[in-house]
Amino acid sequence: MIQAAEIVKLGDLHFEPFLMSETIDEAVQKIAGQINRDYNGEEVLLIGVLNGAFVFMNELIKQLEVSLEIDFIKVSSYDGMNSSGELALALDFKNDIKGKNVILIEDIIDTGLTASRLLKMASCLRPRSLKIASLLLKPDSLKTQVQMDYVGIEIPDVFVVGYGLDYDQKGRELPMIYKLYQED
């Protein structure tokens, strides 16, 4: 049974612990190891998808042993708890990515629509290579086929917050990942 102290209230919803810090750290280490092997001796441009990916990206770059450039793009496809399917682009690609090894850094791939559209936009700019790294993947929620290069943890179709993920801009600072609390 979940104890009341473990429940987190964000706005009008309650969330319970889902993925502990140790599990998240292992997933980040796994992805970093894969990137280090794939790009040994090469330079990589990491493009973090804001707002959610900033915590994951921060921890990831600490473990990368390749030469890095870092940039960000800001998009949103969520309204509260629901993916709208619409991609709102607030910050576009600032760097010239032509001829570069590019990895888009996502916090979560849910429907796959955002990732798919970002990959399509980026590929038009002719990078040398283009991959995507996501801390979380919800395979049961995918609405489109999307390239999956580096995935930390596959999760069921539950709403999650913490470690950069939010509910109406709340909860990003939580050190682990919580799921929506459902009373039995």
Q: How far apart are CA 136 and CA 148, in angstroms?
A: 11
What phi, psi does 114 have (nearest 5°)?
-65, -50
- The active-site residue out of 110, 140, 149, 157 is 110
Whether residue 103 contacts residue 139, with contact meaning beta carbons closer than 8 Å, is answered with no
| Amino acid identity for residue 36 in this structure | N
Q: How far apart are CA 35 and CA 44, in angstroms?
A: 9
Q: What CATH number should be reported for the domain whose range is 21-155?
A: 3.40.50.2020
Token pair belonging to 117: 């559209």
Give me the pLDDT at residue 74, please: 86
Question: What is the pTM assigned to this prediction?
Answer: 0.89
| Amino acid identity for residue 168 in this structure | D
Q: Which of 152, 151, 168 is nearest to 15 (CA)?
A: 168
- pLDDT values of the chain reduced to their tens digit, one per residue, 184 residues: 455 559 999 999 999 999 999 999 999 999 999 999 999 999 999 999 988 999 999 999 999 999 999 999 988 655 555 555 555 554 456 668 999 999 999 999 999 998 998 999 899 999 999 999 999 999 999 999 998 999 999 999 999 999 999 999 999 999 999 999 987 6
110 among known catalytic residues:
yes
Q: Which of 174, 177, 141 is nearest to 26 (CA)?
A: 177
Token pair belonging to 150: 């580096």
Listed by start position, the domains of the chain span 21-155
The residues facing 70 across adjacent strands are 46
Give me the pLDDT at residue 1, please: 43
